C-alpha cells in the first residue's frame, strides 16, 4: 500500500490559494501520506487561507480522512446490504478478535488497519473483504484467515 | 489527431474509423467491471493479449477490456465477436482453449457456456437475463473500450451533441427533453425538461454564470448503476452534460464522483482530457462559438452528499450539510448562482433522446415514466448484476425472470428498493410496476410541488403507495433466511451514522428508533412499543430537513407494515423466525450431516465445540456466543439454527 512520498510543497503548489480547494487538497495529502498530520494540516490551511477550524470540521465530517497513520496492510470488510445479509459482520468480528483491534483502528505493531466499508460494489461476490487493493470474494472465516496469514 | 474544427471534420473522422473496421476481425471483449475484476478479469485479459500475439490467426484478434457486461455473478465474462459467443466464469487457464477452439477454429467451448435449465446458451441473446433487457443507456457499456476515444467515436459519441449545437436552438433542446418525459434517475423522479427550463429562465432574469453538476455520489449500498456508466462509457456522460449546458446556457460543469470509485474517476479523467484535446470541451466547441468545460470533484466519503444542497456545500469546500430549500439550487446554488444537478444516469439518457427523438423515448416505458431504468439486482438472487429494462417492468419479472429467482427457494420473501431510504416490499407486490410512481413525501418539498399545483399530471404510484421508493435503482432480494427486523436495524444504523447531525429529529430520533430495534432483536420489548416506534418514525420524517431524515424510517415502517408478525415473534415469543438475530438463536450440529472434518473446532473462538476427527462434532450451547464462525466455515452445511 505504501506509495512513494510526494513532497508536501509539490502537492500544495498544484492548487490556487483559495479555500474552495481545501477538500481537494486535503484529499491529495491523505492519498500521498495515508493520513493528515497536524503539521500538514497547518500548511494546507496556510496555503488556501482557511481557518484551522474549517479544516478540522472537514476532516472529522468526511470519512475518507484519517488523523492517524494507517497500518502497513489495510483490511476493509464490506458491510453493504448484500454483504450484511450474507454474513459480513461475522467476518468483521473475527478480524476484531484475531487482530485484537476494533473497527477503525490500527494494530499496535502498525501491521494492520481494520475498517468496515459500506459497499465496494462487488455484491455478486458477497461477502467481500478487501485486503489492500485485492478483493477476497465469497469470503468465509476460513478463507479470510488463510488470506491474512499470507500477509 | 488534434482539435476537431467542425462537425464535418468530426463526421469525417467517424466515417474513416468505420471504413477501416474489418467485420471479420475477431474481437474479444473481456468484462473489466469491478465484479469481474474481483474474479480475476485482469489476468484473463492479460492471457488473451499474450495469446493474440502468438497464435496463428487469419486476422489477429482485438482484445478489449470493456465496462460491465452485467451478469456479475458469472464472471469473468467474455464475449467473442463476430462469432457471437458468450463465455461465463472464464479463468486465465481457460484462455488457451478458447483461443484455439473459437478464434483459430470456429468451434465453441461448451463447458464455458451459460446454462439455463440444463440448456446451453451460445450467445448472450439466448440468455433470458439479457433477452428481457432493453439497453439504451448501457448500449455501449461492455461493448467499447472506455479508454479509447476512437472506439467511442465509432460507436456514435458526440453525434447528438454536434446535432444539438449546430441544428437546434437551446429552447428546442429543452423542449425535446421535456417531451421525452425524462425524469430524474437519482430517485427524485423530477421531470428533467422542466428543471432545465426553470434554470434557463432563471439565468435570463438574472444574467451571469449557471453551473451544471452530475451527481455521481452513488452512496446506496448495493447500487452501482452510475458507476457502470461512468466506467464503461464515460463520454456519454460528458456528451449529455455538454448538450444540457448548451440548452441552459452554462459554461462550467462539475462531475461529483464518489471517491470509492477509483476506476470511474480514472476513466472520466482520461475521457475529459480526450474531449478537451479534440476540442469537444473548452472554448468554441466544434467552431460553434459555444464554450463549456468540466471539472471532476472527488467525494470525500459522506452519504449525505448525494443530497443536492450538500453537494453544493462540498464543492464550495465546506462540510456537506444540507440547507433549507427554497431557494432551490436552480435559483440559488453553487456560489449563489443558478445550478442544475442531475444524476449521472439522467445525463447519460440525454444523447439518446437527442439522437432518436423525444417521441421514440416517450414510447419506451409507461405513460408517466418513460424510457428505461438501470437496476442493480443483488442479494439472494441467482443472476446478480446490472440490468436495464423499460420503466413499468414488474418486480416479479425483474427478480424471477431476469434475475433467475432465488437460489434454492421457490419465491423471494421481499425486495428492498431505493437504498437505505427505501422500503421493504414483500413478495405479494411482485406485480408492482417499476415505473408507475408518484412523488414521495420528501420529494414534495422539491420543485415538484410547484409543478404538481400548476397542473403537472402526477400519476398514481405503486412504489410510493407500497411505502418505498424506486430510488436510484438498487434492488436487494431477500429470502426466508433474512430477518426484516435485522435489516431494518441495519439501515437505521447506517443512516444514523450518516446523519449529518444538523436536525435533532434525525440525529437523536434515529438513535431512539435503533434502541427499540436493538431491544426487539434481543427478544425484549412490548407489542405496544411497535406503535411508539411508528410515532417516533413519523416525528423523524416530519421534523427533518433533507431527504435523508425524511425517508430514513421507510424501511422500519414498511417492515412493520408487511411483517408485523415477525416483529411479534421477536417480542412475544423471543424467537427470530429467519434465524438471524444472535440473541434469539441456538446453533446445533446436525449429527447426520456432519462428516467430522473439524473445521468448526479450529475456528471456534470460545472453544465450545467438542468431538473427534471423522466423528460428528457437537456444540456446547451454554458457552456458545453465537458468533456464527462454525456455520460460516462448515463445508457440509451441518451447522443449523434451532
Q: What is the pLDDT of residue B435?
A: 57
Segment A54-78 shows an average pLDDT of 93
Q: What is the pLDDT of residue B43?
A: 96
Angle B156-B157-B162 from CA coordinates, rounded to 5°: 100
Segment B364-377 shows an average pLDDT of 88
Give the count of beta carbons closer than 10 Å to the beta carbon of residue B507: 16
Whether a cis peptide bond, with omega within 30° of 0, leads into B327 is yes
Q: What is the pLDDT of residue B501?
A: 92
Is a pLDDT exceeding 50 seen at residue B436?
Answer: no
Angle B330-B333-B334 from CA coordinates, rounded to 5°: 135
Is a pLDDT exceeding 50 seen at residue B438?
Answer: no
Q: What is the pLDDT of residue B133?
A: 95
- 3-state SS of chain A: helix, strand, coil percent to 5? 45, 15, 40
CB-nearest partner of B221 from A81, A97, A140? A81
Average per-residue pLDDT for chain B = 90
Instruction: Determine contact: B478 vs chain A, CB below 8 A.
Output: yes
Question: Can you tell me the distance from the alpha carbon of B112 to that of B77, in angstroms, rounded to the nearest whole number?
Answer: 10
| A77 min Cα distance to partner chain B (Å) | 13
Segment A49-54 shows an average pLDDT of 94
Contact B13, B7 (CB under 8 A): no
Burial-class residue B410 by CB neighbours within 10 Å (0-12, 13-18, 19+): exposed
Q: Please indicate whether residue B40 or residue A1 has the higher confidence score (pLDDT).
A: B40
Say whether B169 sits in a helix, a strand or coil. coil
Interface of B with A in 188-227 (CB under 8 A): 219-224, 227
Whether a cis peptide bond, with omega within 30° of 0, leads into B2 is no
Question: Can you tell me the distance from the alpha carbon of B146 to that of B67, in angstroms, rounded to the nearest whole number?
Answer: 7
Identify the band that residue A122 occupies on the pLDDT scale cut at 50, 70 and 90: confident
Residues of A in contact with B219 (CB under 8 A): 118
The domains of chain A, with CATH numbers, are 8-61 (no CATH), 73-149 (3.40.30.10)
Residues of A in contact with B70 (CB under 8 A): none
Interface test with A, best of B31, B320, B598, B629 (most A CBs within 10 A): B629
Residues of B in contact with A50 (CB under 8 A): 317
Lowest average pLDDT, out of B144-158, B174-188, B397-411, B423-437, goes to B423-437
Rg (alpha carbons) of chain A, rounded to whole number: 17
DSSP assignment string, B532-567? HHHHHHHHHHHH-SSHHHHHTTHHHHHHHHHHHHHH
Interface test with A, best of B91, B261, B378 (most A CBs within 10 A): B378
Q: What is the pLDDT of residue B101?
A: 94
Please report which residue ranges of B278-334 form alpha helices under DSSP H: 308-315
CB-nearest partner of A23 from B300, B376, B487? B300
Say whether A67 sits in a helix, a strand or coil. coil
Which residue has cell 452528499? B305
Contacts of B596 (CB under 8 A, 6+ apart): B611, B612, B613, B614, B615, B616, B617
Residues of B in contact with A142 (CB under 8 A): 599, 603, 632-633
Contact B500, B320 (CB under 8 A): yes
Tell me which chain A residue has its CA closest to the CA of residue B317. A20
| B99 min Cα distance to partner chain A (Å) | 27
Question: Can you tell me the distance from the alpha carbon of B639 to that of B642, in angstroms, rounded to the nearest whole number?
Answer: 10
Residues of B in contact with A90 (CB under 8 A): 627-629, 632
ipTM value, please give it.
0.91
Question: Can you tell me the distance from the alpha carbon of B578 to that of B279, in angstroms, rounded to the nearest whole number?
Answer: 58
CB-nearest partner of A22 from B261, B317, B605? B317
Is a pLDDT exceeding 80 seen at residue B454?
Answer: no
Whether a cis peptide bond, with omega within 30° of 0, leads into B110 is no
Residues of B in contact with A93 (CB under 8 A): 627
Instruction: Determine contact: A125 vs chain B, CB below 8 A.
Output: yes
Instruction: Determine contact: A119 vs chain B, CB below 8 A.
Output: yes
Instruction: Determine contact: B297 vs chain A, CB below 8 A.
Output: yes
Identify the band that residue B462 occupies on the pLDDT scale cut at 50, 70 and 90: low
Single pTM value for the model: 0.92
Q: State the Cα torsion B360-B366-B367-B370 to the nearest 10°.
A: -50
| A110 min Cα distance to partner chain B (Å) | 24
Is a pLDDT exceeding 70 seen at residue B452?
Answer: no
Grid coordinates belonging to B331: 435559483
Query: Is the sign of the CA dihedral B268, B272, B273, B277 positive or negative?
Result: positive
Instruction: Determine contact: A122 vs chain B, CB below 8 A.
Output: yes
* DSSP conformation class of B100: I
Segment B566-594 shows an average pLDDT of 94
Grid coordinates belonging to A14: 498544484
CB contact under 8 A, B629 and A128: no
Is a pLDDT exceeding 90 seen at residue B55?
Answer: no
Query: Is the sign of the CA dihedral B415, B419, B424, B429 positive or negative?
Result: negative
Residues across chain B: 642
Q: What is the pLDDT of residue B325?
A: 86
Say whether B609 sits in a helix, a strand or coil. strand
Rg (alpha carbons) of chain B, rounded to whole number: 26
Q: Percent of chain B scored above 70 by pLDDT?
A: 95
Residues of A in contact with B599 (CB under 8 A): 142
Segment B147-155 shows an average pLDDT of 97
Phi, psi of B347 (to 5 degrees): -60, -40
Exposure string of B209-236, with b = 16+ CB inside 10 Å and e = fewer, is: ebbbbbbbbbbbbbbbbbbbbbbbbbbb
Say whether B278 sits in a helix, a strand or coil. coil
Contact B30, B44 (CB under 8 A): yes
The domains of chain B, with CATH numbers, are 18-127 (3.40.30.10), 149-362 (3.40.50.11540), 369-573 (3.10.20.600), 586-641 (3.30.70.20)
Count A/B contacts: CB-CB distance under 8 Å.
139
Interface of B with A in 371-400 (CB under 8 A): 376, 378-380, 384-385
Residues of B in contact with A77 (CB under 8 A): none
Interface test with B, best of A121, A125, A126 (most B CBs within 10 A): A121
Contact B350, B240 (CB under 8 A): yes
Task: Give first-to-last CA distance, chain B, whole Å.
Answer: 69
Contact B343, B184 (CB under 8 A): yes
CB contact under 8 A, B478 and A124: no
CB-nearest partner of B384 from A63, A85, A124? A124
Interface test with B, best of A50, A116, A141 (most B CBs within 10 A): A141
CB contact under 8 A, B38 and A135: yes
Lowest average pLDDT, out of A49-58, A102-111, B438-447, B520-529, goes to B438-447
Q: What is the pLDDT of residue B434?
A: 66
CB contact under 8 A, A141 and B314: no
Residues of B in contact with A65 (CB under 8 A): 300-301
Interface of A with B in 8-67 (CB under 8 A): 19-24, 26-27, 48, 50, 54, 57-58, 61-65
HSE on the CB side for A101, CA within 13 Å? 19
CB-nearest partner of B628 from A90, A117, A120? A90
Instruction: Determine contact: B476 vs chain A, CB below 8 A.
Output: yes
| A122 min Cα distance to partner chain B (Å) | 5
Say whether B416 sits in a helix, a strand or coil. strand
Which residue has cell 444540457? B244
Which residue has cell 446523519? B499
Query: Is the sign of the CA dihedral A80, A23, A29, A61 positive or negative?
Result: negative
Residues across chain A: 151
Identify the band that residue B456 occupies on the pLDDT scale cut at 50, 70 and 90: very low
Instruction: Determine contact: B187 vs chain A, CB below 8 A.
Output: no
Lowest average pLDDT, out of A24-28, B307-311, B453-457, goes to B453-457
Q: B88-108: per-residue pLDDT in tens?
A: 999 999 999 999 999 999 999
| A102 min Cα distance to partner chain B (Å) | 16
CB contact under 8 A, A64 and B629: no
Is a pLDDT exceeding 60 seen at residue B442?
Answer: no
Grid coordinates belonging to A67: 488523523
Q: What is the pLDDT of residue B578?
A: 94
Identify the band that residue B460 occupies on the pLDDT scale cut at 50, 70 and 90: very low
Is a pLDDT exceeding 50 seen at residue B453?
Answer: no
Segment B264-286 shows an average pLDDT of 97
Amino acid at each position: 500500500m505504501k506509495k512513494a512520498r510526494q513532497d508536501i510543497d509539490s502537492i500544495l503548489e498544484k492548487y490556487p490559494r483559495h479555500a474552495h480547494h481545501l477538500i481537494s487538497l486535503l484529499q491529495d495529502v491523505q492519498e500521498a501520506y495515508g493520513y493528515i498530520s497536524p503539521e500538514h494540516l497547518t500548511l494546507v490551511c496556510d496555503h488556501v487561507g482557511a481557518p484551522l477550524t474549517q479544516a478540522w470540521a472537514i476532516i472529522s465530517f468526511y470519512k475518507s480522512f484519517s488523523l492517524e497513520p494507517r497500518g502497513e496492510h489495510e483490511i476493509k470488510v464490506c458491510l453493504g446490504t448484500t454483504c450484511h445479509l450474507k454474513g459480513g459482520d461475522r467476518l468483521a468480528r473475527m478480524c476484531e478478535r484475531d487482530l485484537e483491534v476494533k473497527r477503525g483502528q490500527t494494530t499496535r505493531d502498525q501491521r494492520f488497519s481494520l475498517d468496515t466499508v459500506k459497499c465496494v460494489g462487488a455484491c455478486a461476490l458477497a461477502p467481500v473483504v478487501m485486503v489492500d487493493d485485492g478483493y477476497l470474494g465469497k469470503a468465509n472465516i476460513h478463507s479470510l484467515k488463510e488470506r491474512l496469514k499470507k500477509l | 489527431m488534434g482539435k476537431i474544427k467542425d462537425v464535418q471534420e468530426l463526421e469525417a473522422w467517424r466515417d474513416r474509423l468505420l471504413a477501416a473496421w474489418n467485420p471479420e476481425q475477431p474481437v474479444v471483449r473481456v468484462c473489466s467491471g469491478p465484479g469481474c475484476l474481483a474474479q480475476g478479469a485482469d489476468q484473463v485479459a492479460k492471457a488473451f493479449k499474450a495469446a493474440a500475439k502468438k497464435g496463428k490467426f487469419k486476422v489477429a484478434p482485438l482484445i478489449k477490456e470493456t465496462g460491465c457486461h452485467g451478469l456479475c455473478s458469472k464472471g469473468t465474462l467474455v464475449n467473442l465477436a463476430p462469432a457471437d459467443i458468450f463465455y461465463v466464469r472464464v479463468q486465465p487457464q481457460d484462455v488457451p482453449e478458447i483461443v484455439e477452439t473459437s478464434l483459430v477454429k470456429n468451434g465453441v467451448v461448451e463447458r464455458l457456456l451459460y446454462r439455463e435449465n440444463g440448456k446451453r446458451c451460445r450467445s448472450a441473446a439466448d440468455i433470458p437475463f439479457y433477452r428481457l433487457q432493453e439497453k439504451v443507456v448501457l448500449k455501449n457499456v461492455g461493448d467499447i473500450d472506455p479508454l479509447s476515444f476512437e472506439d467511442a467515436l465509432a460507436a456514435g459519441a458526440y453525434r447528438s451533441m454536434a446535432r444539438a449545437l449546430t441544428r437546434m436552438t437551446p429552447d428546442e433542446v429543452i423542449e425535446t427533453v421535456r417531451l421525452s418525459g425524462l425524469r430524474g434517475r437519482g430517485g427524485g423522479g423530477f421531470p428533467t425538461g422542466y428543471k432545465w427550463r426553470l434554470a434557463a429562465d432563471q439565468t435570463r432574469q438574472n444574467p451571469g454564470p449557471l453551473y451544471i453538476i452530475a451527481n455521481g455520489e452513488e452512496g446506496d449500498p448495493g447500487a452501482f448503476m452510475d458507476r457502470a456508466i461512468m466506467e464503461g462509457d464515460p463520454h456519454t456522460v460528458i456528451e449529455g452534460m455538454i448538450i444540457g449546458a448548451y440548452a441552459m446556457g452554462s459554461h462550467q460543469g462539475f462531475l461529483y464522483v464518489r471517491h470509492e470509485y477509483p476506476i470511474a474517476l480514472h476513466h472520466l479523467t482520461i475521457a475529459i482530457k480526450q474531449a478537451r484535446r479534440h476540442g469537444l470541451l473548452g472554448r468554441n466547441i466544434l467552431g460553434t462559438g459555444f464554450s463549456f468545460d468540466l471539472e471532476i470533484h472527488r467525494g470525500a466519503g459522506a452519504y449525505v452528499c448525494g443530497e443536492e444542497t450538500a453537494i453544493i456545500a462540498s464543492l464550495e469546500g465546506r462540510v456537506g450539510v444540507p440547507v433549507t430549500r427554497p431557494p432551490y439550487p436552480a435559483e440559488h446554488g453553487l456560489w449563489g448562482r443558478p445550478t442544475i444537478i442531475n444524476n449521472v444516469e439522467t445525463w447519460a439518457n440525454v444523447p439518446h433522446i437527442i439522437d432518436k427523438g423525444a417521441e421514440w423515448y416517450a414510447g419506451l416505458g409507461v405513460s408517466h415514466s418513460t424510457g428505461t431504468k438501470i437496476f442493480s439486482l443483488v442479494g439472494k438472487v441467482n443472476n446478480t448484476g446490472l440490468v436495464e429494462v423499460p420503466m413499468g417492468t414488474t418486480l416479479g419479472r425483474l427478480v424471477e425472470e431476469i434475475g433467475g429467482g432465488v437460489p434454492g427457494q421457490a419465491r423471494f420473501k421481499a425486495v428492498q428498493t431505493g437504498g437505505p431510504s427505501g422500503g421493504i416490499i414483500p413478495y405479494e407486490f411482485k406485480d408492482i410496476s417499476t415505473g408507475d410512481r408518484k412523488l414521495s413525501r420528501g420529494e414534495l418539498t422539491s420543485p415538484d410541488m410547484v409543478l404538481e399545483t400548476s397542473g403537472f399530471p402526477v400519476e398514481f404510484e405503486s412504489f410510493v403507495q407500497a411505502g418505498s421508493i424506486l430510488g436510484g435503482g438498487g434492488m436487494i432480494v431477500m429470502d426466508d433466511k433474512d430477518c426484516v427486523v435485522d435489516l431494518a436495524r441495519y439501515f437505521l444504523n447506517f443512516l444514523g451514522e450518516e446523519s449529518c447531525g444538523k436536525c435533532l429529529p434525525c440525529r437523536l430520533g434515529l438513535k431512539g428508533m435503533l434502541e427499540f430495534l436493538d431491544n426487539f432483536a434481543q427478544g425484549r420489548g412490548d407489542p405496544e412499543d411497535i406503535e411508539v416506534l411508528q410515532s417516533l418514525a413519523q416525528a423523524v420524517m416530519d421534523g427533518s430537513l433533507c431527504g435523508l431524515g425524511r425517508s430514513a424510517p421507510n424501511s422500519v415502517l414498511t417492515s412493520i407494515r408487511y411483517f408485523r408478525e415477525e416483529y411479534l415473534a421477536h417480542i412475544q415469543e423471543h424467537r427470530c423466525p429467519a434465524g438471524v438475530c444472535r440473541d434469539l438463536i441456538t446453533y446445533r450440529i446436525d449429527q447426520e450431516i456432519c462428516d467430522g472434518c473439524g473445521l468448526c473446532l479450529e475456528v471456534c473462538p470460545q472453544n465450545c465445540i467438542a468431538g473427534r476427527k471423522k466423528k460428528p462434532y457437537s456444540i456446547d450451547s451454554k458457552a456458545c456466543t453465537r458468533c456464527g464462525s462454525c456455520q460460516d466455515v462448515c463445508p457440509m452445511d451441518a451447522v443449523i439454527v434451532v
